[in-house]
Structure 1
Amino acid sequence: MPLIVMCGYPCSGKTRRAEELKAHFEDTTDRQVHTVGDGALGVDRNRVYADSQQEKDARASLKAEVERKVNKDNIVILDSLNYIKGYRYELFCLTKHAQTPHCLVYCLTSGEDSSSWNKNREAAEQYSQDIFEALVQRFEAPDSRNRWDSPLFTVLKDDILPLEAISDALFKRKAPPPNQSTQSQPLSSTNFLYELDKITQDVLMAIFNAQKTTVPGDLISVPGATEKISFTYQTKNYLFTLISCLF
């Protein structure tokens, strides 16, 4: 079922909006609603966002948790910063692979408002000022012209959440069709490498044997091919190089 991606500055009201969405869908549908976020995974924000590798690992954990929960029966809300457009694209590809709709809810606030809300939190839940300012500076705002940011619902701090419009976007819109990059590729045959090696050696040996009685310009037949190849000095030199590598 659909994925709702929250997005916004730190302390921009994302969690409050996610809770509104969860309550709405629990009241109006018979589907399970799962919220995935930093809090649920026990992420220490100041420690994680101060280290690029730890932040990358945290994003991977959130994505993996979303992937586990997205199915035909659930609604999943990803309550995190989601401030990197490349990461939002990965989430979009995830929904294409699962063949389910998604939407983005952007909690738009000023840096001043978010900073004030951050300072009014309990000390254990606050971002340090350095981390807060760094995240605001790195923030890549969503753009509805990007397919991975669409449909986009931008919500100001005093706005009423457009619950019906979000519901329509999720349940009355077809899922994006999967493409080659998001579909699971069939596994290769277990003896693929053996067959490839055998065919390669057969072709090389056919050319090697033919060149004993062939002069440049003659055509040589090779196993498994309908067209013949023209034998040249370059062919001969290349052949000896290949054979020396194989044998």
Structure 2
Amino acid sequence: MPLLMMCGFPCSGKTRRVEKFVEHVRTSTDLQVNVIFDEFTTFDKNTCYSTPSMEKVVRGSLKSNVERLLSKDCLVIVDSLNYIKGFRYELYCVARQLKTTHCVVQCECAAPQAKDWNKSRDNKDDCYTDEIMDALIMRFEPPDDRNRWDNPLFIVLPEDEFPNGGILDALLKRVAPPPNQSTQSKPLSSAGFLHDLDRRTQEVISAIMEGQRTSFVGDSINIPNCSEKLTLNRHLTMGELSRLRRQFITYSKMHPVDDSNKIPTLFVQYLQNTL
């Protein structure tokens, strides 16, 4: 069954909208529905969103729950900020691997209104601090329906009726995109593949660092043994590239390709989609 990703500022009305939508789905269809929320165990939300490492744990929990619950018999709704486009892309890949549809709903509201709603919560322990609220709003990467992982996209304003019918049509009446080589699950490959994966991704990073030294922001960078060029909207540090390389290697270990010559192109596609 499909995947619905909610998206928006903190306190923009996502959970309230989800509750109404779930009620509509359960009264008008026979679908089983599972809603996945942020899980804060040892620490509260302000602590978890205060550092990248702790926030990564929260996103990892969300993704693992999607992978566990998403099936042909269940509609999964991710009721979280989902404000990082790279994370929405990861969830899209999970849905595509399982050959199911997805869509994104952005609860759009002005930052001052979201802050007011945050302060008006009955449970003050559930409020975001001003510092965390400002930081999350500043880092928010709005969905763009030109990106396949953000399409179909429904943008809902506070005064709008929630488009229950349109969302269900988008989830149930569309044909799911077929898995491609970057999302199709395969058994873990040999040590030779892992060696090539390490070597070829390092070669791509070296080419990017060299290309950045001789080009301007927005120029295309030629990558050896790659069928695509990489265009960056800013210069990347070695630390950023190394982190993205580790993420790609982890993903590729679980989804290896049958031809290691494709690794540079797939890595460049991953970088272009994530950045």
TM range (shorter): 0.7 to 0.9
Q: 2:176 matched to which residue of 1?
A: 175
Counterpart-to-counterpart distance in 2, 1:116 and 1:86: 29
Matched, 1:81 2:91: no
Q: CA deviation at 1:25?
A: 1.0
* Cα distance in 1 for residues equivalent to 2:156 and 2:183: 30
Written as runs of structure 1 = structure 2, the 5 A alignment for 1:88-99 is 88-99=88-99
Deviation at 1:124, TM superposition (A): 0.9
1:68 aligns with 2:68: yes
Q: Determine if contact 2:39/2:61 at 8 Å carries over to the other structure.
A: no
Quickly say closer, same or farther: Cα 1:173–1:41, change in 2 above 3 A.
farther
Distance 1:43 1:23, change over 3 A: farther
The answer to whether the Cα contact below 8 Å between 2:3 and 2:95 also exists between their aligned partners in 1 is yes
Q: How many residue pairs are counted as aligned between the two chains?
A: 191
Give the SS at the match of 2:18: helix
In the other structure, the counterpart of 2:219 is: none
Q: Which runs of 5 or more residues in structure 1 are unaligned?
A: 194-247
User: Which residue number in structure 2 is paired with residue 139 of structure 1?
Assistant: 140
Q: CA deviation at 1:41?
A: 6.6
For residue 163 of structure 2, what is the amino acid of its counterpart? P
CA contact 1:12–1:107 (8 Å) conserved in 2 = yes
Question: Is 2:25 the partner of 1:29?
Answer: no
Matches within 5 A, 1:1-247: 1-38=1-38, 44-121=44-121, 122-188=123-189
Q: Could you report, residue by residue, the CA deviation over 1:184-233 in whole angstroms, capped at 9, with x for unpaired residues?
A: 124557xx88xxxxxxxxxxxxxxxxxxxxxxxxxxxxxxxxxxxxxxxx
Q: Sequence identity, in percent?
A: 52
Residue 214 (structure 1) aligns with: none
What stretches of structure 2 of length at least 5 have no aligned partner?
Answer: 193-275
Separation of aligned partners in 1, 2:86 and 2:9: 17
Once the two structures are TM-superposed, the CA of residue 28 in structure 1 deviates from its matched residue by: 1.4
CA spacing shift, 1:183–1:129, aligned 2, 3 Å = same
Q: Which amino acid aligns with 2:80?
A: S
User: For residue 11 of structure 1, what is the amino acid of its counterpart?
Assistant: C
Q: Which amino acid aligns with 1:134?
A: A
Letter aligned with residue 56 of structure 1: K
Distance 2:43 2:153 in 1: 27
Contact preservation (8 Å) 1:10, 1:136? yes
What SS does structure 2 have at the residue aligned with 1:76? strand
Q: What SS does the corresponding residue of 1:130 show, helix, strand or coil?
A: helix
- SS of the residue aligned with 1:11? coil
Aligned to 1:124, the other structure's residue is in SS state: helix
1:53 aligned partner, one-letter code: S
- Give the C-alpha shift of residue 44 in structure 1: 1.8
Structure 1 or 2, whichever has the larger Rg, is 1
**Residues 41/108 of structure 1: CA separation in 2 closer, same or farther (3 Å cut):** farther
Answer yes or no: is the 8 Å Cα contact 1:103–1:166 preserved in 2.
yes
Q: 1:172 to 1:123 in 2, by over 3 A?
A: same
Q: Return the letter of the residue paired with 1:102.
A: H
Q: Deviations over 1:4-59 (max 9, x none)?
A: 00000000000011111111111111121000012587872101000110100110
Amino acid at match of 2:69: K
Aligned amino acid, residue 48 of structure 1: C
2:170 alignment partner AA: A
8 Å CA contact 2:45–2:128 kept in 1: the answer is yes
Contact 1:43 1:58 in 2 (8 A): no
